[in-house]
Amino acid sequence: MVAMSSILAQEYAENGFALARGLFSPAECESFLAHYMAMVERGGDGWAEGGVDANHPDPLVRYPRLLQPHRGDRVSFEFMLDPRLKAALTAIAGEEPLAVQTMVYFKPPGARGQALHQDNRYLCVEPGTCLAAWLALEDIDEETGCLEVVPGSHRYPMLCPGSADMERSFTGDQVPLPPGLRSILTPMRQGDTLFFHGALIHGSAPNQSTTRFRRILVGHYIAGDAQSVARYYFPCYRFDGSVVDNLKVSSYGGPCGTFDTDGNLITEGHTAQPAGIH
């Protein structure tokens, strides 16, 4: 794990993301799949965004994402604080981070993806940023809408979003690509975990498969020396399971960057940010 952590830290510093192959076993992933599929088929146990409607024409209403299940589900809580994630995140960030969020995305056949965005626009961590640990619960590829990332974009500030194509994205905002940068696809095998920076531009395309899901389990973390985070992400946890009690609540809204006609980055006013989750 020491050698892997060193490689992850180097990749993360250079690109804003790093992929840990096979961090979780196939058996663990199959157990997670069974657990969360049963949860959503029960109606989500209170964690399903907007509730579950098994007969709705939109696949994302039949299988909505689960938000913050760790607040009442032991499996999710233990995943969020898994020692393997702690080791990788600590190596990447240079300090032990704090845990603030879990999410499960099902992305069933035909489901929309999510337009390009930056996570710290939602978490509003100050100082520092957030980090994601994105676990593939099954093999995912271009057909099922694997994650799309923009290497090097973590060096940019929060960028002012425009409007997304709602035929392809279930969220309405989309940030621009910095001049000279491009997005790449990140196909993953079951058990692979992608770690990425809160300013990294990322998103995904719709699931074009007629039979295959793209199910993933996500933990979000914040800098260990952070002083504030958005209210939705409380309570915050240390990796020993204790609650952090000295954090302040960040305000939504803040400066965002945009590009002039020559591709130069400028700061433009403030961007209002949606309350809660992403």
74/70 Cα distance (integer angstroms): 6
183/264 Cα distance (integer angstroms): 19
Task: Compute CA distances 159 → 66, 89, 141, 255, 258, whole Å.
Answer: 27, 25, 27, 9, 6
* pLDDT tens-place string over residues 130-165: 999 999 999 999 999 999 999 999 999 999 999 999
Q: Where exactly are the structural domains of the chain?
A: 2-271
278/260 Cα distance (integer angstroms): 28
Kindly state the tokens that stand for 92. Answer: 């990447």
pTM for the whole structure: 0.95
* pLDDT tens-place string over residues 75-97: 999 999 999 999 999 999 999 99
CATH superfamily of 2-271: q2cbj1_9rhob like domain (2.60.120.620)
Question: Taking every pair of C-alpha atoms in the chain, what is the biggest distance, in angstroms?
Answer: 53
Kindly state the tokens that stand for 220. Answer: 């979000």
CA nearest to 82, candidates 240, 270, 260, 256? 240
Give me the pLDDT at residue 267, please: 76
* pLDDT tens-place string over residues 176-225: 999 999 999 999 999 999 999 999 999 999 999 999 999 999 999 999 99
Give me the pLDDT at residue 276, please: 45
Q: Please tell me the least confidently modeled range out of 70-74, 83-87, 178-182, 250-254.
A: 250-254
Q: Which residue has the tokens 């960040």?
A: 250
